Amino acid sequence: MTPPGGRPSASASDGQLLPPLGPEQPALSRLMDRLRLAGVLSVVGAVTLVGIPLQWISLKLGLDARRHIPRLYHRALLRLIGVRVHVRGAPAVDRPLLILANHASWLDIPVVGSLTPLFFVAKSEVSGWPLIGLLAKFQRTVFVDRQRRHATGAVNREIADRLADGDPVVLFAEGTSSDGNRVLPFRTALVGAAREAFAAGAEVVVQPLAVSYVRLQGLPMGRSHRPVAAWFGDMELAPHLMDVLRHGAIDVEVTFGTPVRLDAAHDRKSVTRESEATVRRLCACALAGRSQDEDRPDPLPDAGTSGIKRS
């Protein structure tokens, strides 16, 4: 992932500032909510305690399970906390594959991580964050130290090696998280990793991915309640996690856009801008409840029959 690198100011720092979803709960109902939260957290903790050693062993022994354990873990986590993922399209079959996604929440990590074996790119500070850092390491994330610009080449080579191994690389291209109601400008710097792979003689496929939080408890979420899912600005993680667990039943739409090739004919800036425009359009469609069929992935030019898997 490329979780937040300095998130914009939030209009709501925690769930208490959000418009109420309904009448104030009686004391008994609040007690039941607390018991439910405790139960969910206990199960999440148990699943995590089982998953971490399994993943550690798989990484140490180089087992193929290291690619699949994070995906299964994320799926279990989403089910436990009440997040339902609706997928349109599919990742490109062609490799190496770089996925450029928008970023609105720490939930993006398990949401995207549940789709297919992949890994994220994140700033180095993320490795020390509670929960987020754990999820990132669990997903074999490549950490980037922005203060050590001289190390960029080594990071790009590591990403290029991962691309060559066949697993998609996910880059949250905004470099920060938004409020979930808009898409921020995409940054081109880390797309240089794809350049490394291209320089080694491989074409790189770049595919846009739109992540949109659309419903809460079965109803359209709306701008005012988007912070239940979105994590941005000066929001603290623990209260936000509690809000997610308390409200539950969050629906998120994930849409794969049409992939393009990054080669001599397509420089990284033009590819990044094209991907940004696609993600912005797909998110706008999802948030407005409009059809996105016209934006379903099509086979890559000259990709033959391998093209794209469709959902």
With cut-offs at 50, 70 and 90, classify the pLDDT of residue 192. Answer: low
- What class is the 82-295 domain? alpha beta
Tell whether the model's pLDDT for residue 16 goes beyond 50. Answer: no
Alpha-carbon dihedral 265, 269, 272, 276, rounded to 10 degrees? -120
With cut-offs at 50, 70 and 90, classify the pLDDT of residue 257. Answer: very high
> Which backbone phi and psi does 209 adopt, to 5 degrees?
-140, 120
Beta bridge partners of 283: none
Comparison of pLDDT for 52 and 2, the residue scoring more: 52
Average pLDDT over residues 167-178: 87
Q: At what angle do helices 192-199 and 268-288 cross, to 10 degrees?
A: 130
pLDDT of residue 61: 92
Enumerate the domain spans of the chain: 82-295
Q: What percent of the chain has pLDDT over 70?
A: 77
pLDDT of residue 100: 95
pLDDT of residue 19: 57
Q: What percent of the chain has pLDDT over 90?
A: 28
Comparison of pLDDT for 297 and 184, the residue scoring more: 184
pLDDT of residue 275: 94
Which pTM does this prediction carry? 0.79
Q: What is the pLDDT of residues 239-252, one digit of tens each?
A: 777 778 777 789 99
Position 125, amino acid: E
Average pLDDT over residues 52-64: 89
pLDDT of residue 54: 92
With cut-offs at 50, 70 and 90, classify the pLDDT of residue 305. Answer: very low
Q: What is the enclosing helix (H) or strand (E) of 75?
A: helix 65-81
Q: Which of 171-180, 257-266, 302-311 has the lowest mean pLDDT?
A: 302-311
Cα–Cα–Cα angle for 272, 276, 279, nearest 5°?
A: 135
Tell whether the model's pLDDT for residue 76 goes beyond 80. Answer: yes
**Separation of alpha carbons 156 and 63, rounded Å:** 24
Tell whether the model's pLDDT for residue 45 goes beyond 80. Answer: yes
| Closest to 111 (Cα-Cα) out of 21, 165, 172, 50 | 172
Comparison of pLDDT for 189 and 190, the residue scoring more: 189
With cut-offs at 50, 70 and 90, classify the pLDDT of residue 137. Answer: confident
Q: CA 61 from chain center: how many Å?
A: 27
Tell whether the model's pLDDT for residue 88 goes beyond 90. Answer: yes
With tokens 């550690």, the residue in question is: 56
Buried b (16+ CB within 10 A) or exposed e, 33-63: eeeeeeebeeebeeebeebeeebeebeeeee
